[in-house]
Amino acid sequence: MSIWTRITDAIAAIGDSVGAFLQQLASREPTPPEKTMAFTIGMIALGAKMAKADGVVTQNEISAFKRVFHVPDEELAGVARVFNLAKQDVAGFETYARQVAKLFDARHEVLEDVLDGLFHIAKADHAYHPDEQGFLARVAEIFGFSEADFARIRARHVEQPDDPWAILGLTRTASSEEVRKRYRELVREYHPDRHIAAGVPPEMIEIATARLQKVNEAYDRIMKETAA
């Protein structure tokens, strides 16, 4: 089931405050959290606030949101309305982040999927603004991720050149056994089968698959580097 399939049903009830509506939805969990209206609305709201974090919402960022989260054509009008309301809402992004975080355990892999999606929006205009860095770091903190976790997540997206050690969350002093152990842990955590079994919608599974590819590439680079 797509996370957008119920968005049309919510439009009439949202009114003028996405924040208030999100809080109301998050107060009840009638279905698995990945499929709740609260998660759907929260994703749109965070995406809107992410696009606005550097003060300018570009068409590239809007297009990135649609591309990353696979908004179907029949849902575009409804998603656009919520997106625009969230941009203008007096509620800050922290409100939305807390409501999404309530749906999951701290550091849940789906919350890392959300951060990956937001990074894709941040990169869409080919720049990574300090305000976007602050936005993402704060969302990560609300989601229960440590500074080290955030540095590892960020390394997959904005470090130039990519540091394979940072992507695995290791320092260059790590032994070969530590590298292999960490790699195995991440493969278990990020494997798409785990997301599928949890009922995560296709949009999130694709993000998890791309993340696992980054981990595999980082591990291969470290193995070649240490074998040289």
User: DSSP string spanning 176-218?
Assistant: HHHHHHHHHHHHHHH-HHHHHHTT--HHHHHHHHHHHHHHHHH
Tens digit of pLDDT for each residue in 41-91? Answer: 777 888 888 877 766 666 776 777 777 767 777 777 777 777 777 777 766
Amino acid at 127: A
Mean pLDDT of 207-218: 86
Residue 3: is its pLDDT beyond 80?
A: no
Residue 29: is its pLDDT beyond 60?
A: no
Cβ burial of 79 (10 Å; 0-12, 13-18, 19+) is buried
Residue 36: is its pLDDT beyond 70?
A: no
Tens digit of pLDDT for each residue in 120-173? Answer: 888 877 777 888 889 999 999 999 999 989 998 998 888 655 689 988 989 889
Please confirm whether the linkage preceding 161 is cis (ω < 30° from 0).
yes
pLDDT of residue 191: 80
Query: For the chain, what percent of residues have pLDDT higher than 70?
Result: 76
Q: What is the rounded distance in angstroms from the CA atom of residue 169 to the CA atom of residue 80?
A: 36
What's the CA angle centered on 183, arms 97 and 137, to 5 degrees?
25
Residue with tokens 């152990």: 181
Residue 180: is its pLDDT beyond 90?
A: yes
pLDDT of residue 178: 94
Q: Quick check: 54 and 131 in contact, CB under 8 A?
A: yes
Residue 174: is its pLDDT beyond 70?
A: yes
Q: What is the rounded distance in angstroms from the CA atom of residue 181 to the CA atom of residue 31?
A: 35
Cβ burial of 136 (10 Å; 0-12, 13-18, 19+) is buried
Tens digit of pLDDT for each residue in 192-205? Answer: 777 666 656 666 67
pLDDT of residue 13: 64
Q: Quick check: 211 and 152 in contact, CB under 8 A?
A: no
Domain ranges within the chain, ordered by starting residue:
7-227
Task: Note the pTM of the prediction, 2 decimals.
Answer: 0.72
Q: Quick check: 79 and 7 in contact, CB under 8 A?
A: yes
